[in-house]
Amino acid sequence: MAAIAAACSLPAVSTLAVASEPLAGRWLARDASSGVESTIELFLESDQMYGRIVSLRTQDGEVFDPICTGCKGALKDAKVVGAIFITGLRRSGDKWVGGKVVDLRPGPMQGTIANCEIELLQGRVKLFGYLWLRWLSGTDYWERAPAQPQP
Q: What is the spatial distance between Cα 87 and Cα 106, in angstroms, rounded to a whole number?
A: 20
Q: Has residue 24 been placed in a domain? A: yes
Q: For position 132, what pLDDT does the model report?
A: 80
**Do the Cβ atoms of 139 and 126 come closer than 8 Å?**
yes
Q: In the chain, which residues have pLDDT < 50?
A: 1-18
Q: For position 150, what pLDDT does the model report?
A: 57
Q: Has residue 147 been placed in a domain? A: no
Q: Has residue 9 been placed in a domain? A: no
Domain span at residue 46 reads: 15-140
Q: For position 135, what pLDDT does the model report?
A: 76
Q: For position 14, what pLDDT does the model report?
A: 37
Q: Has residue 150 been placed in a domain? A: no
DSSP label of 18: H
Q: What is the CATH number of the domain that holds 23?
A: 2.40.128.520
Q: Has residue 5 been placed in a domain? A: no
Counted domains in the chain: 1
Q: For position 9, what pLDDT does the model report?
A: 32
Q: For position 134, what pLDDT does the model report?
A: 76
Contacts of 76 (CB under 8 A, 6+ apart): 68, 69
Nearest to 101 by CA among 92, 88, 120: 88
Q: Has residue 136 been placed in a domain? A: yes
Q: Has residue 46 been placed in a domain? A: yes
Q: Has residue 73 been placed in a domain? A: yes
